[in-house]
Amino acid sequence: MATKLRFALFGTGFWSAYQLGGWMQTGEVECVALYNRTKSKALKTAEQFGIAPEHVYDDPSALLDNEQIDFVDICTAVETHLPLTQMAAARGLAVVCQKPMSTTLVSCETLVAACKSAGVPLYINENWRWQYPIRAYKAALDQGHIGKVFRANLDYRTSFPVFDNQPFLKEIEQFILTDIGSHILDVARFLFGEVVSLYCQTHRVHQDIKGEDVATVTLTTQSGAVVICQLSYASPREHDRFPETYIQAEGERGFLELSHDFWVRETVVGEHGTITHASRHKPPRFAWADPEYDVVHSSIYPAQLNIARALKGLEACETTGDDNLKTMRLVYKSYESAHTNQVILTLP
């Protein structure tokens, strides 16, 4: 049996149990230590996952000094990502970091540079593109049946009460673009290629939060396609299937969509008329996942399997620091566009 990589998880908040569930599902790694600023919370997680109390810390430096690990998984508040990454990289440890990478574009660039300077790998836990129906959509898109895409739409609009289980989100001054936009804009790149310009408008509908809960981002890709990303936590719908993402692409020969309940439909105009093929791509269910978040939680496993195999030198990682920096550029350029009401060029 291949040796498992040893790692420490930094942060034992809402997402940590799902992070650990995904890592355990891979069979490639072993969590041997935990850090959380509130140690009592970390001790509860340790008990749940069979980690001895002597390997639980409320001081990240003490953990790094005392534990023999191969990498750290940083799943803490976003403002701590940069200092914790610098701390781990300085000790020669590979870093896996939760999205969004950091609080500004400059700090994202600094975080990536810190790992490069230390000569350690940096991977971002960006799981959205690994959703089972989105991978199926990508496979259909790559077949090229609909021809060159000239317009696309990514739709993540819901009224799900996300603030109930994550109340800290109410206090974030930059909310939906960093929280969900970092996912959706990454999927836009994954499906339709790199972006040359963007225009964004934002709104705050919930008046008891600090940040924006609605955003519309219009991207222009290198291929000339226009991609519209619609984000909302303030949109009640008759059939609100949180947290599904709907995708439509218009091509020169047809139309490809990912619709509700994980259906992929491809309509192509051929010499014998218009034909539609439909297939359903329901995500797998894992015992450690929350059924309400099924499509999201099930994507954690393949994302982390890709990272684990990359750390072992067995395959290339899709979500490197360099790759995710391109996504974070779109996130923070979107804020710039919304602030200035200007189209922003996104490529150097």
Instruction: Determine the pLDDT at residue 1.
Output: 42
pLDDT digits (tens, 9 = 90+) for 59-110: 999 999 999 999 999 999 999 999 999 999 999 999 999 999 999 999 999 9
Q: What is the pLDDT averaged over residues 37-63?
A: 97
Domains in the chain, ordered, with CATH? 5-125 (3.40.50.720), 130-290+321-345 (3.30.360.10)
131 Cβ contact list (under 8 Å, min separation 6): 245, 283, 295, 296, 298, 299
At 289, give phi and psi (nearest 5°).
-85, 155
How many Cβ atoms are within 10 Å of 143's Cβ, its own excluded? 9
Answer whether 95's CB lies under 8 Å from 74's CB: yes
Q: What is the pLDDT of residue 2?
A: 63
Q: What is the pLDDT of residues 149-172, one digit of tens each?
A: 999 999 999 999 989 888 989 999
Selection from 100, 262, 105 nearest residue 184 by Cα: 100
Indicate the average pLDDT of the chain. 96
pLDDT category of residue 243 using cuts at 50, 70 and 90:
very high
Number of neighbouring beta carbons within 10 Å of residue 252:
10
Q: Rounded to an integer, what distance in angstroms lies between the CA atom of residue 76 and that of residue 93? A: 17
Cβ atoms 204, 240 nearer than 8 A: no
The answer, yes or no, to whether residue 176 has pLDDT greater than 70, is: yes
pLDDT above 80 for 347: no
